Amino acid sequence: AQSVSQHNHHVILSEAASLELGCNYSYGGTVNLFWYVQYPGQHLQLLLKYFSGDPLVKGIKGFEAEFIKSKFSFNLRKPSVQWSDTAEYFCAVKSSGGYQKVTFGIGTKLQVIP
């Protein structure tokens, strides 16, 4: 069975600091990868996705992620965070089959201090 591991459960950064959130998955076949963001009291919104092609994926709000197949990783990055980036971030992986096969990580809470 596939699984997703998010290494940092709670991250605190000052504004303008760089961000990298780790995500590793365990599945040997072809995968699709997602990062979702959940702002306080809100629903999940898609930040970015990887299906195929360029392993460096750019998403909304200046976020990007790099798929490194050899490391089974899909880390999320942002060069300079803002207070408005305070949210919970979820990595998700879909193996072969439909979206019902998506597995979510437990999430990383990011707190940005002004």
Partner 1 sequence: DAGITQSPRHKVTETGTPVTLRCHQTENHRYMYWYRQDPGHGLRLIHYSYGVKDTDKGEVSDGYSVSRSKTEDFLLTLESATSSQTSVYFCAISESRDTEAFFGQGTRLTVV
Residues at the site binding partner 1, with contacts judged by CB under 8 A? 4, 32, 34, 36, 42-46, 49, 90, 97-100, 102, 104-107
- Nearest approach, Cβ of residue 41 and partner 1 (Å): 9
- Name every residue whose Cβ is closer than 8 Å to that of residue 33 and which is 6 or more positions away in sequence: 23, 25, 49, 50, 65, 67, 74, 91, 92, 93, 94
Place of tokens 């940005």: 112
Measured from the CB atom, the residue of 16 and 61 that comes closer to partner 1 is 61
Distance of alpha carbon 15 from alpha carbon 75, whole angstroms: 20
CB of 72 to partner 1, least distance (A): 18
Closest CB to partner 1 among residues 105, 112: 105
